[in-house]
């Protein structure tokens, strides 16, 4: 097999130690095993203009004897297994695997000329080690064996034992788990457990670029713990934007928006209102609950979302499961807001009993939410458990709402679960963890006296946008060339985008509220069009509708559509 040898470093280069231009998409920083530009797996010797990542010298091609997996020999059996098992895989896992099989499997090298790694236990190959993706999946078994001497009950079960096996990975690791490792297991001719569910994600990007630890772009675990933000906030946000079906981005401004709108104003608000009300008016003791039509309606809505939550988790759709938790907390907020227990508690004896029902049921929903949150936010669940004076881990979910907190149960001391993240904190974190993206910021063409790094509030950004816009107007009026004023316009658009994100972070609106506003505004626009009002009266309402849709896009983390689609003029006959 031909490999790349760096004569300056005097060693064969591992895949991660060689870079060059991708032969497929021409991305200039492709690695020796994979291109981050197009996502394809490649061989190091296929790179155009390869370079050693250590010394930047050009390596030379050398031949070396290696061991290969004879994938074609087991291709028919693998095809049959994929056809039977693939229905329970994520869409991209199925597509990637089918693409490998469609092209026909080729022999795959499983050894390397390196000084580190798992040694090959063969006399003629003592100087070589195994390729990481040959030996790494075997580690799943060896880790099980370290955990328990009964590991074979999972990996080589009896015929009457059903084992369900999930694997989670990024899409670029799919072939190693859907092709290479299954081929190895088949070749042993032993009854090993095969994976049932391969759940592959798309790519998570960072702000306007890509995560890259080697290039210093993005925030990683060791950085996250130094931000001052709770680990559960990171867990929540990463699962909220989890790229299950398409690429998504980690954005500091969006993280603050989701924290302030979904955690603070939705989930945290409901939990704290219910428990604080119980503490203030019922001495922390759950009152008797007497269900009426409003409670039955609420329980029907919650039961619907609970069933769908269980269904989503069974399918490993973690992002959708989290959204259903937030949907239930919104139901709880709307229920309390409509019932107004703070008014009922001051009324007649019947109204006080009614207030007790509202608060007792709301506290039980808080407990339900904590049970559902366990896979997502374990630290927050522990805090809720202490406030409820109960061990959340003892509860199991059913397809219906259970009574977790019976009448007479006494809770602990309520306290807010989340804190607001200010726009100033967002700017600090974005600057601190920008990596090489700092060089991109220098490309922004600012009006004289403006510095984006010094802008931390909505008011400051609005003033800066005014100054930047004034500079653009002056340049255009002076007759300057487009090449002179265009960079200022580009920067102005970026500033307006940042302003929208800052406004959402400082005064967040829930997605449900935005969708309701859009629906009402859309009805208003339609009625005005039907009435054939003057354009001067209609256009402001259309502009407002577009602004609301833009806010919704930013809140959901999807691209903002630019304005209205132009209607084609009818062709004259």
Q: DSSP string covering 174-231, please?
A: HHIIIIIHHHHHHHHTS-PPPPSEEEEE-PEEETTEE-BTTTTBS--HHHHTTSSS-H
Q: Please indicate, yes or no, whether residues 387 and 481 belong to a single structural domain of this protein.
A: no
Query: Domain for residue 344, yes or no?
Result: yes
pLDDT tens digit string along 214-224? 566 778 877 88
pLDDT reported for residue 440: 41
Q: Please indicate, yes or no, whether residues 398 and 473 belong to a single structural domain of this protein.
A: no
Enumerate residue ranges in the chain where pLDDT < 70: 212-216, 435-454, 504-512, 553-573
Query: Domain for residue 231, yes or no?
Result: no
pLDDT reported for residue 492: 83
pLDDT reported for residue 433: 77
Calpha distance 252→206 (Å, rounded): 9
Tally the domains of the chain.
5
pLDDT reported for residue 559: 47
Calpha distance 422→400 (Å, rounded): 39
Q: Please indicate, yes or no, whether residues 520 and 492 belong to a single structural domain of this protein.
A: no
Tell me which of 167, 201, 235 is where a domain ends.
201
Tell me which of 146, 168, 201 is where a domain ends.
201
Query: Domain for residue 166, yes or no?
Result: yes
Note down the domain range covering 291.
265-410
Q: Please indicate, yes or no, whether residues 22 and 113 belong to a single structural domain of this protein.
A: no
Query: Domain for residue 564, yes or no?
Result: no
Q: Please indicate, yes or no, whether residues 273 and 396 belong to a single structural domain of this protein.
A: yes
Alpha-carbon Rg for the chain, nearest whole angstrom, is: 29
pLDDT reported for residue 566: 42
Query: Domain for residue 498, yes or no?
Result: yes
In total, the chain counts a number of residues equal to: 573
Per-residue 3-state assignment (H helix, E strand, C coil) for 91-154: HHHHHHHHHHHHHCCCCEECEECCCCCCECCCHHHCCCEECHHHHCCHHHHHHHHHHCCCCHHH
pLDDT reported for residue 54: 83
CATH number assigned to the domain comprising residue 143: 3.40.50.620
Q: Quote the crossing angle between the two packed helices 535-556 and 511-530, to the nearest 10°.
A: 160
pLDDT tens digit string along 302-311? 999 999 999 9
Name residue, tokens 């390596």.
59
Q: Are 323 and 555 in contact (CB under 8 A)?
A: no
Long-range contacts made by residues 224-227, C-beta under 8 angstroms, separation at least 24? 227/429
Q: Please indicate, yes or no, whether residues 275 and 406 belong to a single structural domain of this protein.
A: yes
Calpha distance 218→433 (Å, rounded): 6
pTM of the predicted model, to two decimals? Answer: 0.71
Q: Please indicate, yes or no, whether residues 289 and 368 belong to a single structural domain of this protein.
A: yes
Tell me which of 147, 181, 201 is where a domain ends.
201
Calpha distance 254→249 (Å, rounded): 9
Q: Are 233 and 255 in contact (CB under 8 A)?
A: yes
pLDDT reported for residue 467: 83
Calpha distance 444→494 (Å, rounded): 9
pLDDT reported for residue 502: 72
């Amino acid at each position: 097999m031909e490999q790349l040898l760096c004569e300056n470093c005097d060693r064969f280069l591992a895949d991660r130690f060689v870079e060059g231009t991708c032969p497929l998409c021409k991305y200039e920083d492709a690695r020796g095993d994979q291109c981050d530009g197009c996502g394809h797996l490649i061989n190091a010797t296929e790179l155009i203009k390869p370079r050693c990542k250590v010394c930047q010298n050009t390596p030379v091609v050398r031949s070396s004897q290696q061991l290969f997996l004879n994938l074609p020999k087991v291709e028919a059996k693998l095809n049959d297994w994929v056809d039977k098992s693939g229905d329970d895989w994520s869409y991209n896992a199925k597509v990637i695997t089918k693409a490998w099989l469609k092209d026909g499997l080729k022999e795959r090298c499983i050894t390397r000329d390196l000084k580190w790694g798992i040694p090959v236990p063969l006399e003629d190959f003592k100087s070589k080690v195994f390729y990481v993706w040959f030996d790494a999946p075997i580690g799943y078994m060896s880790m099980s064996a370290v955990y328990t001497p009964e590991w074979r009950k999972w990996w080589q079960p009896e015929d009457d034992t059903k084992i369900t096996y999930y694997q989670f990975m990024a899409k670029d690791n799919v072939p190693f788990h859907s092709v290479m490792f299954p081929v190895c297991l088949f070749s042993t001719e032993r009854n090993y457990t095969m994976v049932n569910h391969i759940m592959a994600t798309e790519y998570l990007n960072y702000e306007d670029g890509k995560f890259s630890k080697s290039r210093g772009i993005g925030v990683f675990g060791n950085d996250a713990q130094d931000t001052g933000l709770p680990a559960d906030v990171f867990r929540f946000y990463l699962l909220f934007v989890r790229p299950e079906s398409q690429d998504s981005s980690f954005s500091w401004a969006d993280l603050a928006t989701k924290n302030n709108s979904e955690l603070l104003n939705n989930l945290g608000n409901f939990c704290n209102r219910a428990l604080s009300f119980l503490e203030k008016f019922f001495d922390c003791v759950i009152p008797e609950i007497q269900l009426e039509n409003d409670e039955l309606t609420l329980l029907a809505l919650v039961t619907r979302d609970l069933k769908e939550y269980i269904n989503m988790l069974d399918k490993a759709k973690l992002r959708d499961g989290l959204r259903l938790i937030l949907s239930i907390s919104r139901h709880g907020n709307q229920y309390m807001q409509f019932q107004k227990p703070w008014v009922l508690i001051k009324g007649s004896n019947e109204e006080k009993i009614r207030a007790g029902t509202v608060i007792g049921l709301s506290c039980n929903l808080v407990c339900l939410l904590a049970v559902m949150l366990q896979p997502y936010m374990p630290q927050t669940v522990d805090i809720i458990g202490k406030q409820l004076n109960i061990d959340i881990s003892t509860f199991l979910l059913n397809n219906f709402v259970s009574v977790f907190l019976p009448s007479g149960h006494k809770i602990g001391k309520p306290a807010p679960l989340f804190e607001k993240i200010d726009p100033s904190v967002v700017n600090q974190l974005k600057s601190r963890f920008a990596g090489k993206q700092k060089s991109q910021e220098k490309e922004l063409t600012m009006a004289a006296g403006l510095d984006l790094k010094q802008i931390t509030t909505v008011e400051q950004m609005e003033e800066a946008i005014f100054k930047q816009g004034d500079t653009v107007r002056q340049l255009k009026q002076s007759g300057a060339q487009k090449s002179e004023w265009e960079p200022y316009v580009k920067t102005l658009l970026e500033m307006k985008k940042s302003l929208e994100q800052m406004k959402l972070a400082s005064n967040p609106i829930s997605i449900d509220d935005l969708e309701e506003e859009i629906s009402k505004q859309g009805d208003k626009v339609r009625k005005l069009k039907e009435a054939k009002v003057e354009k001067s009266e209609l256009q402001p309402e259309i502009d407002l509708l577009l602004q609301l849709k833009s806010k919704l896009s930013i809140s959901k983390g999807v691209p903002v559509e630019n304005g209205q689609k132009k209607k084609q003029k009818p062709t004259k006959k």
